[in-house]
A = this chain, B = another copy of it.
Amino acid sequence: MPKIVDHDERREKIVEIVAEMLATIGVERTTIREIARQSGYSRGFIEHYFKNKEELTINTIRWVNERSLSRVDEALCGLSGLAALQTFGEQMLPVTHEIRNEWKIRMQFWGVAAVSHEHRREQARRSDAAEKSIIDYLEQAQQAGEVEKTIELLPIAHSFLHRLYGLACNATLRPGYFTRHRQMLAVQEMMAEFARPRSAD
């Protein structure tokens, strides 16, 4: 009987280490040698589970995005409408070590995505999913009367999405300036926009 190993589990373990390295030392210095060194696995072992570095890389970014989704989902349990939207924002912004790392990793690959179709698709998928979620919450909010029914959702969904991305990005570039507190205030501002009376009539 051959030893039974849980492939997926091992793959995930490796991916987790790679994610940490990507966020800490960057994609350039995250070499297979270095992964092997830090994980304690052998080089061959790693390539036994990922046929090459590209596959390892793409799996890592995918894993990060999935984990991000899971975390948001978990925090959302039961919520809907504006409450959900606010939680969504709070769970996406880089206010914890984990989320900061997520954005760092994402940003590692935005550069690649800018010039590589495959990476762009992966990154676009995450952005697209976020957009869809936002619209969902806004629709719920409309249903619940939290947001005016006549309002067109796509523009304000985009506004929310972009402020989220822009803040996350700038908070990563200027961590001393965009503190956790300031980010939370920004979410408040973002929410205020929906609550605000849309017209004077």
Chain B residues with Cβ below 8 Å from A159 are 163, 186, 189-190
Chain A interface residues toward B at CB < 8 A: 2, 23-28, 44, 103-104, 107-116, 120, 123-124, 127-128, 155, 158-159, 161-167, 169-170, 172-174, 177, 185-186, 189-190, 197, 199-201
Q: In the bound complex, do residue B112 and residue A110 qualify as a contact, i.e. CB atoms below 8 Å apart? A: no
Complex: chain B residue closest to A100, CB-CB: B114
Complex: chain B residue closest to A182, CB-CB: B158
Q: In the bound complex, do residue A26 and residue B169 qualify as a contact, i.e. CB atoms below 8 Å apart? A: no
Complex: chain B residue closest to A193, CB-CB: B193
Complex: chain B residue closest to A2, CB-CB: B44
Q: In the bound complex, do residue A111 and residue B110 qualify as a contact, i.e. CB atoms below 8 Å apart? A: yes
- Which of B25, B170, B172, B199 is within 8 Å of A162, CB to CB? B170
Q: Shortest Cβ distance from A68 into chain B, in angstroms? A: 16
- Which of B166, B197, B200 is within 8 Å of A163, CB to CB? B166
Question: How many Å lie between the Cα of A27 and that of B185 in the bound state?
Answer: 36
Chain B residues with Cβ below 8 Å from A200 are 197, 199-201
Given the interface pairs A159-B189, A163-B159, the reply to whether A174 lies near B25 with Cβ below 8 Å is: no
Chain B residues with Cβ below 8 Å from A186 are 155, 158-159, 162
Chain B residues with Cβ below 8 Å from A163 are 159, 162-163, 166
